[in-house]
Structure 1
Amino acid sequence: MCAALAGGCSNDFAADGLWPSLDASEPAPAANNTGTRMEIPPSSGEMAGSPTYSGDMAQIDSGAGKQFVPIDTGPSRQAPNTGTFVGQKVATLRSELENLKSVLQQQNQEFQQVLGGAMQNAQRYHAIVGAVSARLQVGTTPGNPVLVSQWNQAQSELDRMISSTAALNSLSNRVSSNSDLAAYLLQATRAAFGLQGAVDEDHRQLSILEDDVNRTVVSIDRLLNEINEAVTRQNTFEAGERRNLSGLARAISNGEVYGPSLANFAYNRSASLSPYTPPAPGMEGSGGTAGAPPLVVIRFDRPNVDYQQALYSAVSKALEQRPGATFEIVGVTPERGTTADVAVNSSTARRRAEQVMQTLVEMGLPVERVQLSSAESVAAQSNEVHVYVR
């Protein structure tokens, strides 16, 4: 037996190669054996045309971002033609499935290209915005032309990301049409089992084809979900950055940055909904409405009143506590002087209130959250603007 298999064997080989050593010494080195080549038959999965995986699959994630990998878009194993009507039907369905797989693979590659372009645009956008914000943090001249140019570049990069979102929407519609075709192929394959005149090989090929179509359906659904999730992420990002760019434009105009866009606070529904805490009594203005102290009092008793940063801080804090809050901006006129003086002061106070409202809108506060009104006060010594939380 030993001679027939290996051409001869000895007790030394059995002791050194087959049985473990029971002492503490190092094991003897294995003899150099030249074995014969053994052919391993294909597995059942390979025979059925199913996808097989090797260690190379670990290289799918190249570090370039999230990638979608279809389960199986390779060609199906060609089966012999049985010559029956059902066999011809199987060949037709398989050909249509191969065309669908080819289209799916192209769409997957297009998806990756669009995502890669969007990622590059986002990197350039954040680099530009970061440079502008860093310059504003240390202060600069109002309307610095260098920052204005960088802001325009950031706007262009954001527009490119919006165009990539439109491309993803178009791709999603085309993938959805593939889903309809895959559903038809699956239904036609299952219906072919009921046709007469089939041989056993036809039904075996139909079973393989049905599994292949099912895998393709899963691939299409997965790709469609990936695209829709990417569109949702892009839309959320773009809406937020539009608001941030508006606030950044205002900061460039003033030469300093106030903080994140107020819209980020206004739409933050997950924030605490605890009752708003008004300012301390010592912070109240002279023209408050009945029972409600103003959030901010701005006295225009001198030219070029610098109120923006204090206004931003107060409104952002109020929105942190009450994200759904609205604000009333009241132009307060002092009740003194002649009728003509009161009329002039009333017009000036109204104009100041509109100026404060425009400032809040530029800071990112939605315009529908702001109301304008006017009032007169005997305690006011100059034109004032009061901001109330409603």
Structure 2
Amino acid sequence: MSSRQSLPIRRTAVVIGALLIAAGCTVPPKDQAPTTGSQTAPQAETSAATQTDAAAPASSAAAPAAPVPEILGTTVFEPPQVSSMQPTGTVVGQKIESLRSDLLRLQQELSDENDHLQSLRISARQFAGNYHSLKAAMNARLQVGTTRGNPELVAQWNQAQSELQQVGASIAALNTLASEVSGTASLSAFLLESTNTTFELRGAVEEDHRQLAVLEDEVNKTVVVIDRLLNELTDDIARTQNYFANERLNLTAMQVAIDNGEYIGGSLANRAYGVPAPAPAGGAASAVGQRQPLAVIRFDRDNVQYEQALFTVVGAALERRPNAAFDIVAVAPAGGDSARVALNTNRSRRNAETVLRTLTSMGLPADRMTLSATSSPQTQVNEVHVYVR
């Protein structure tokens, strides 16, 4: 067959093939789902999700756990383990056995001192917790107000004082323990020096020097633990002393609040610091009528309630000027005969002494206060003036 005769046949075959390809690419009916693309994609997504889920536990398991920080005052001081050593039969080997026995005794002392420290810490935390529970209960009663000198609050105050004294007693025990740890530290330094000196002895074999190197490392580790124990013990003593001193002042201030049946506040000692200005050379009595007093307390009746107001103004003055000092002046009326003036002066001075004791109970240091007395014709009743400098 010639090429011209086969050309129509080829064209017909091409047309038929194109029609078949077009029929295969037609859109399927709505009720018929695609067979290839729609089934392959979910399988790929499922496979990827399975791989992700499988990789997640592996990555989480490989991530190291974050270390939990130690709480201050809870460190446990455990000595390192001492390696067992075989005797070599040499003189140096006998010395090594003696040094190892000394190290074991030293570590036993360290363990006993650590147990004692943990026991003291547990007791101190228990007493401090009881104290603060009682203190919170008293503050809650005083905040809403109660009767003056409430016997229930007085009993709670006495119990709180007893709990606080137990905390104070632990200071002496901590000091005793610190002396014992200092002795252990001296012994450990001597043991380390003896171990280093043993390297210079004659008549040793290689095994002796190997055991000495191991023993030296263990002594060094023990020395480090003892030093840390002594440092933290020193910090515990200083922290407990500061805590005990501040809370004793706060408890004294609370006694004033119980006597008055209302909440006053914390100790003024926590607000006063720095070097105060010197007292006036001629006394503060000359300031009456010349300067504006910080507070004027008029004793024109019995049982004058001045504590809360006095605490407020003195505390505010200390917040503005922590190095402030205060001059307490008893001012008596100058009218009347000499006997009347002397009687009023004595009463006014006793009132000023009461104000001074009140401020001392509130925690104001005694070296920040002066006391003087005078009389004034402008005063009609006994007064106590408080000046700030």
Compute the displacement of 1:291 (Å): 4.5
Q: Within the alignment, does 1:310 sit opposite 2:294 as a pair?
A: no
* Secondary structure in 2 matching 1:385: strand
Residue of structure 2 in register with 1:47 after alignment:
none
**Structure 2: 5+ residue stretches without partners:** 1-46, 52-63, 278-284
Amino acid at match of 1:381: Q
Aligned to 1:171: 177
> Helix, strand or coil for the counterpart of 1:297?
strand
* Equivalent in the alignment of 1:202: 208
Distance (Å, rounded) in 2 between the aligned partners of 1:120 and 1:369: 36
Deviation string 1:274-307 (CA, Å, 9 cap, x unpaired) is x9xxxxxxxxxx9943753211111223333222
Confirm or deny: 8 A CA contact 1:266 1:323 kept in the other structure: yes
Moved >4 Å (runs of 4+): 23-27, 58-61
State the secondary structure of the residue aligned to 1:348: helix
Return the letter of the residue paired with 1:321: R
Q: Contact 1:335/1:380 (CA < 8 Å) preserved in 2?
A: yes
**Greater Cα shift, 368-377 or 124-133:** 368-377
Q: Give 1:125's aligned residue.
A: 131
> What residue number does 1:30 align with?
none
Return the offset for 1:207.
Answer: 0.8
Q: Report the CA distance shift for 1:287/1:60 in structure 2 as closer, same or farther (over 3 A).
A: closer
What does residue 195 of structure 2 align with? 189
**1:369 Cα deviation (Å)?**
2.0
Please report how far the alpha carbon of residue 324 of structure 1 lies from its aligned counterpart in structure 2 after TM superposition: 2.5
* Superposition deviation, residue 313 in structure 1: 0.8
Q: Secondary structure at the match of 1:266?
A: coil
Find the aligned partners of 1:141 and 1:354 in 2 and give their Cα distance: 25
Match of 1:138 in 2: 144
What TM-score results when the alignment is normalised by the length of structure 2?
0.77
Percent identity between matched residues is 49
Cα deviation, 1:351-373, whole Å, max 9, x if unaligned, reads 11112112111212122322111
Please give the secondary structure, in 2, of the residue aligned with 1:332.
strand
Classify the secondary structure of the residue corresponding to 2:194.
helix
Q: Please give the secondary structure, in 2, of the residue aligned with 1:153.
A: helix
State the partner residue of 1:334.
Answer: 333
Query: 1:225: how far off?
Result: 1.1
**CA deviations over 1:37-70 (Å, ceiling 9, x no partner):** xxxxxxxxxxxxxxxxxx9xx7996x8x742233
1:212 paired to 2:223: no
**Cα gap change, 1:59/1:259 in structure 2, threshold over 3 Å: closer, same or farther?**
closer
2:74 equivalent to 1:67: yes
Deviation sequence 1:289-335 (CA, Å, 0-9, x none):
37532111112233332221111111111112222322111111222
**Residues 327, 388 of structure 1: 8 Å contact kept:** yes
1:252 corresponds to: 258
Moved more, 177-186 or 98-107: 98-107
In structure 2, relative to structure 1, the CA distance for the partners of 1:298 and 1:206 (3 Å cut) is same
Partner of 2:296: 297
1:26 shift after superposition: 6.5
Q: Is the 8 A contact 2:78 2:111 kept in 1?
A: no
Q: Does 1:377 align with 2:384?
A: no
Q: Give the aligned residue type for 1:368.
A: D
CA distance in 2, matches of 1:25, 1:294: 80
Structure 2 match to 1:350:
349
d(CA) in 2 for partners of 1:385 and 1:163?
40
Determine which of 113, 117, 142 is the counterpart of 1:111.
117
- Give the aligned residue type for 1:385: V
Q: How many residues align?
A: 324
Which secondary structure state, in structure 2, belongs to the residue aligned with residue 161 of structure 1?
Answer: helix
Q: Distance in 1 between matches of 2:362 and 2:113?
A: 41
Evaluate the alpha carbon distance shift between residue 287 and residue 311 of structure 1 in structure 2; reply closer, same or farther with a 3 A threshold: farther
Give the whole-Å Cα distance in 2 for the aligned partners of 1:68 and 1:124: 23
